[in-house]
Chains A and B, each alone.
Chain A
Amino acid sequence: MTTVTEKAKGFIQVDKRDAKLALAHIYVAFIALFIGGLCGLLQVLVRSGQFTLPWGITYYQILTVHGVLLGLILTTYFIFGFQIAAVSRTAGTLTDKQRSIGWIGFWTMTAGTVAASIMVLLNEASVLYTFYAPLQAHWIFYVGMALVVVGSWIGGIAQIMKYVEWRKANPGQPSPLITFMVVVNLAMWIICSLGVAVEVVFQLIPWSLGWVDKIDVLLSRTLFWYFGHPLVYFWLLPAYMVWYVVIPKIIGGKIFSDALARLSFMLFLIFSIPVGFHHQLTEPGIDSFWKYLQVVLTMMVVIPSLLTAFSLFASFEIRGRELGAKGVFGWFKKLPWKDARFVVPFIGMAAFIPAGAGGIINASHQMNQIIHNTIWVTGHFHLTLATTVVLTFFGAAYWLIPHLTGRILTKQMNHLAIIQAIVWTVGMSIMSGAMHIVGLFGAPRRSDFSTYGGSEQAADWIPYQIAQAVGGTILFIGIILVLYIVAHLLWFAPKGKTEFPIGEVSEHAEKTPMVLENWKIWLTICILLILFAYTIPVIDMIQNAPPGSKGYKLW
């Protein structure tokens, strides 16, 4: 069930040298999960009001560690480990040059991570993972962040080079689906992270070094959120790769349509970036017309999301019926409910239904005022990132790691993996549920425990904060479980061969039109939309800029 032996047709093993590069990323990802998760546990405990941090550690310091490690490091490293393996599996082993570039990217990112982490631990950078000016961190923190971004470009280029090589070797043919998806994700990542790179390199670093006295706050926030929203799609698209390409194989079915999968990825590319203002809806200095325009563009991702939901459930239903399912919903029972590789990501998919609905509320122009910067938002992205994406990544790790280490997921570990996902679901339902509800009452996110001067309203929030601590504690148990499984798969599981499942396209699917792989068209649309959404408001921001701000260290 959980392993596929050598007799399986078309078994392709990722080259050992590529596996090593992918595993290096995965190690860092899970170390980040442990430290970041521990900080998350401490946060919910502090906020319950029953616990104070020892040794002069502040709430905002651990909040910074939690956000940076889980939002930026865990995600980027796992994604790169997964993507490198996926490209190597489907487009062929990396050349020595490509692999060296991959390693340079890895070490650049890691040097940046270490530098930034040291500054946070020294309490020189308690600015949270959004590092909003004019709170001013130590310049080394910003340099570290810049290295993470630049390292990701270098590592990304290694993956793109393999794709380019494949296209040249196979003219006129659509590239392997998952490799294509990797390249879409990287294209989006590179285009969006240019924004944060400009913010860090041209605004934050010169300002924190004292080369310039003042910073343009609104411009820095706009550059950040030009990056910040596509960032969440950068997390999500690898989960979609697993859903579109891997899950159909795991359930024994076929990919519903290669063309629709590619179309939905291209739509994500063009509609993920020109949307950052929906994080800035309550800010002064941006005309409400441009806010509304970006709200409309934001909502366009509903279309590829619906395409995705349809394709996935079509794959499920077709497979269930092949297995003899009857009635309208009989196929649902036929899905492999005992296979962690399916069940764990499936819970992630299910979580995306409330998560997506919450996201629509958040980005709804005036409705945003009800929830902006309340802990509802924290509840929201603990469903999107910390459930949908993370559970899909865990589910992928259960075949990816043993594939790369030449081991197998044993029956016991498969069982434990399902228990882990249930623990996660219970913990997250309690924590995220409590966050959503109390957020509607007005409880703020990113805030230390406080009675707010004895306010009656704030007193009503405390039971929900205790519920968050209960949920958060259960989630930490979930982290220990997943780390146990991962350690087993890395070092202790029995030797053997595990498949890297790659689905085949259904024979009923249409031939893929090559226009979907015409980068000139899609990148042009992408850039035009960005220029359309941002040019006028950014010029306005610069022309009407107030006197800038000096730096503050208020922690």
Chain B
Amino acid sequence: MHIHKYEKWWLTLGATSLVVFLIIVGISAFHYGSHPPSAKVYIDPERVDEIAPFNNPGVHKVEGKDWDYEVVFVASAFYYNPPEIEVPFGSTVKFIATTKDVVHGFQVAGTNINMMLEPGYVSEYVTTVDKAGEFLILCNEYCGVGHSTMTSMLKVVE
């Protein structure tokens, strides 16, 4: 099939940009480990409160891991437990969260921390908190009538 000269240039330019773009995204993902939260950890959604680490929600200092703190959250309509957390500025934190009932979101406004919480699954995300201040944690997946009141607070302190 004959393709016009200009169209060849146009498609070559477009396709090349696309390949370069996908390679950059790929290197960022597979070489630098910057993947979206994709944990494959499973849990019985009806027994969340009995199972570690969700039997003890909150901030836990850990040793000998790639991160300094583990922050454990339990979501349920229309609350997060704990309702507020504090972590030191500059620390590396692993967020570990799950839901006891329907699907919820876990988004820390103004940051890249944003993951879905689904019943039966544990969501995890490791990040370095490099901005001080108070960040609103909110549910960003519709979960029922109280959806927009479902919040917690992340305080990053110096």
Interface set of A (CB-CB < 8 Å, partner B):
58, 60, 63, 128, 132, 134-135, 217-218, 221, 259-260, 263, 280-288, 291-292, 295-296, 299, 302-303, 306-307, 310, 314, 364-370, 372-374, 441-450, 452-453, 455-458, 510, 513, 544-549, 552, 554-555
Q: How many B residues are at the interface, by size bracket?
A: 35 or more
In the complex, which residue of chain A has the Cβ closest to the Cβ of B119? A549
**Contact assessment for A547 and B45 in the assembled complex, using a CB-CB cutoff below 8 Å:** yes
Q: 5 smallest A-B Cβ distances: which pairs?
A: A554-B144, A546-B120, A442-B109, A450-B148, A373-B140
**Contact assessment for A58 and B114 in the assembled complex, using a CB-CB cutoff below 8 Å:** no
Q: In the bound complex, how far is the Cα of B14 from the Cα of A368, in angstroms? A: 22
CB proximity of A406 to chain B, nearest CB, Å? 41
Q: In the bound complex, how far is the Cα of B63 from the Cα of A492, in angstroms? A: 78
Q: Does B3 count as interface, using CB distance less than 8 angstroms?
A: yes
**Contact assessment for A552 and B144 in the assembled complex, using a CB-CB cutoff below 8 Å:** yes
Q: Does B7 count as interface, using CB distance less than 8 angstroms?
A: yes
CB proximity of B7 to chain A, nearest CB, Å? 5
Given A445-B140, A448-B148: A260 and B3 within 8 A (CB)? Answer: yes
Interface string of B1-45 (1 = CB under 8 A from A): 111101100110011001001100110111000111111111111
Contact sample, A vs B, 19 pairs, CB 8 Å cutoff = A221-B118, A283-B38, A285-B40, A285-B42, A291-B38, A292-B26, A366-B29, A373-B140, A442-B110, A444-B107, A445-B140, A449-B148, A455-B136, A457-B135, A547-B45, A549-B119, A549-B120, A554-B102, A554-B143
Residue among B4, B42, B114, B151 making CB contact with A370, cutoff 8 Å = B114
Give the residue among B22, B44, B46 with the most A Cβ atoms within 10 A. Answer: B22
**Contact assessment for B121 and A284 in the assembled complex, using a CB-CB cutoff below 8 Å:** yes
Contacting residues, chain A, for B26 (C-beta < 8 A)? 292, 296
**Contact assessment for B102 and A134 in the assembled complex, using a CB-CB cutoff below 8 Å:** yes
CB proximity of A265 to chain B, nearest CB, Å? 14
Given A218-B120, A259-B1: A369 and B36 within 8 A (CB)? Answer: yes
Q: In the bound complex, how far is the Cα of B49 from the Cα of A63, in angstroms? A: 33
Residue among A369, A455, A545 making CB contact with B151, cutoff 8 Å = A455
Contacting residues, chain A, for B42 (C-beta < 8 A)? 285, 544, 546
Contacting residues, chain B, for A370 (C-beta < 8 A)? 112, 114
Given A369-B114, A546-B45: A444 and B105 within 8 A (CB)? Answer: yes
Residue among B25, B121, B143 making CB contact with A135, cutoff 8 Å = B143
**Contact assessment for A285 and B118 in the assembled complex, using a CB-CB cutoff below 8 Å:** yes
Q: In the bound complex, how far is the Cα of B101 from the Cα of A58, in angstroms? A: 21
In the complex, which residue of chain A has the Cβ closest to the Cβ of B136? A455
Q: In the bound complex, how far is the Cα of B147 from the Cα of A58, in angstroms? A: 12
Q: Does B141 count as interface, using CB distance less than 8 angstroms?
A: yes
Q: In the bound complex, how far is the Cα of B103 from the Cα of A242, in angstroms? A: 39
Residue among B25, B113, B141, B149 making CB contact with A364, cutoff 8 Å = B25
**Contact assessment for B29 and A306 in the assembled complex, using a CB-CB cutoff below 8 Å:** no
Given A217-B119, A299-B22, A372-B114: A284 and B36 within 8 A (CB)? Answer: no
Q: In the bound complex, how far is the Cα of B125 from the Cα of A282, in angstroms? A: 10
**Contact assessment for A510 and B2 in the assembled complex, using a CB-CB cutoff below 8 Å:** yes
Contacting residues, chain A, for B4 (C-beta < 8 A)? 314
CB proximity of A307 to chain B, nearest CB, Å? 7
CB proximity of B83 to chain A, nearest CB, Å? 9
Q: In the bound complex, how far is the Cα of B60 from the Cα of A484, in angstroms? A: 63
Q: In the bound complex, how far is the Cα of B107 from the Cα of A452, in angstroms? A: 13
Given A135-B143, A282-B114, A546-B43: A303 and B11 within 8 A (CB)? Answer: yes
**Contact assessment for B118 and A284 in the assembled complex, using a CB-CB cutoff below 8 Å:** yes
Q: Does B145 count as interface, using CB distance less than 8 angstroms?
A: yes
**Contact assessment for B116 and A283 in the assembled complex, using a CB-CB cutoff below 8 Å:** yes
Q: In the bound complex, how far is the Cα of B135 from the Cα of A181, in angstroms? A: 49
